[in-house]
Amino acid sequence: MRARRGVIWIGVAAMLVVGVSVWASAKAPDMVLFKQTYAPKEGTDLAKALPCLVCHSKMPATKTDLNPYGADLAKAAAGKAVDAKILLAIEKLDSDKDGASNIVEIKAGTHPGDPKSKPK
Ligand SMILES: [Ca+2]
């Protein structure tokens, strides 16, 4: 009985590990693409937000805590994997409504999903 319980707990732990890693890796390609496309400069607000806080508002990130940039990205992706066209599609938006478009912020190294971070 005791050994059987141990096997069940090992099974539950294994499912948790697999589940968390599948969830985490599902969004990793988005961040790889973002970094390859924009190559944020070290030390900027944008670089400090990598990897999760570019699109999420808090850590640990969940599917529902998207910041305004993440929400626009999710809307543009419409359930598909994020690709370069989708990143491009939201460059002209001002997701956080701070007066600077997403691409202006990304080039300046400020955060397109945080109105407190904007180009000077
Ligand atoms: Ca903005």
What is the 105 CA–ligand 1 centroid distance (Å)? 6
Q: What is the mean pLDDT of the chain?
A: 88
- 53: CA distance to ligand 1 center in Å? 15
Instruction: Return the amino acid letter for 78.
Output: A
Q: Are 119 and 96 in contact (CB under 8 A)?
A: no
pLDDT in tens, 33-90: 999 999 999 999 999 998 889 999 998 888 889 999 999 999 999 999 999 999 999 9
Beta carbons of 95 and 57 less than 8 angstroms apart: no
Helices (H), 39-83: 45-49, 68-77
Give the global pTM: 0.76
Q: Please enumerate, as own/partner, the contacts of 19-27 that have beta carbons within 8 Å and a separation of 24 or more.
A: 27/61
